Amino acid sequence: DAMVIQNPRYQVTQFGKPVTLSCSQTLNHNVMYWYQQKSSQAPKLLFHYYDKDFNNEADTPDNFQSRRPNTSFCFLDIRSPGLGDAAMYLCATSRSGRSLGNEQFFGPGTRLTVL
C-alpha cells in the first residue's frame, strides 16, 4: 500500500544534542510537510517542500531545519533540542495543483523526548 513512513516512532535525545527525524513516502507526491504537535494541540506547520523549493513558516525557529534529497525522502533536523521541543512530529504529503480537494496524507508521527 502507498503510504507515509516515519522513523523512528519514538526518539529520545539529550538537551542540546542534534537529532534527525526521517520521513519517506511511496505516494510520489511532490509536496511534503513537517508539523509539530504538542499535547492536546492542533498540528503546527513548521515548513514544507513544494518539489525542491523549501518554504519556511515565519514563526519556525532557526533551530529547525529540513532536507529533501529526493522526492521520496524528507528529513527534519533539530540542531540543539530544548525541553520545549519535546512533541510529536508529523510528516505529511500531498499532490499540488489547482484541485483544492487534494488532501494531505499523514505518517504515524515520531514522538520526541528531550532529557
Partner 1 sequence: GNSVTQMEGPVTLSEEAFLTINCTYTATGYPSLFWYVQYPGEGLQLLLKATKADDKGSNKGFEATYRKETTSFHLEKGSVQVSDSAVYFCALRGSSNTGKLIFGQGTTLQVKP
In whole angstroms, how close is the CB of 77 to partner 1 at the nearest point?
A: 20
Confirm if 91 and 4 have CB atoms less than 8 A apart: yes
Q: Which residues neighbour 49 within 8 Å (Cβ) at sequence distance 6 or greater?
A: 31, 32, 33, 55, 66, 68, 74
Task: For cell 519517506, name the residue.
Answer: 24
- Binding interface with partner 1 (CB under 8 A): 4, 6, 31, 40-43, 45, 48, 50, 55, 90, 92, 94-109, 111
User: C-beta of 16: minimal distance to partner 1 in Å?
Assistant: 27
Q: Where are the alpha helices (DSSP H) in 10-57?
A: none
Are the C-beta atoms of 66 and 76 separated by less than 8 Å? yes
What's the closest the beta carbon of residue 31 comes to partner 1, in angstroms? 6
Min. distance of Cβ 80 from partner 1 in angstroms? Answer: 26
Please say which residue, 65 or 108, places its beta carbon nearer to partner 1. 108
Complex with partner 1: residue 42 or 83, whichever CB lies closer: 42
Q: Which is nearer to partner 1, 9 or 17 (CB)?
A: 9
Identify which of residues 52 and 79 has a Cβ nearer to partner 1 in the complex.
52
Measuring CA to CA, how many Å separate 51 from each of 30, 60, 82, 99? Answer: 5, 20, 30, 17
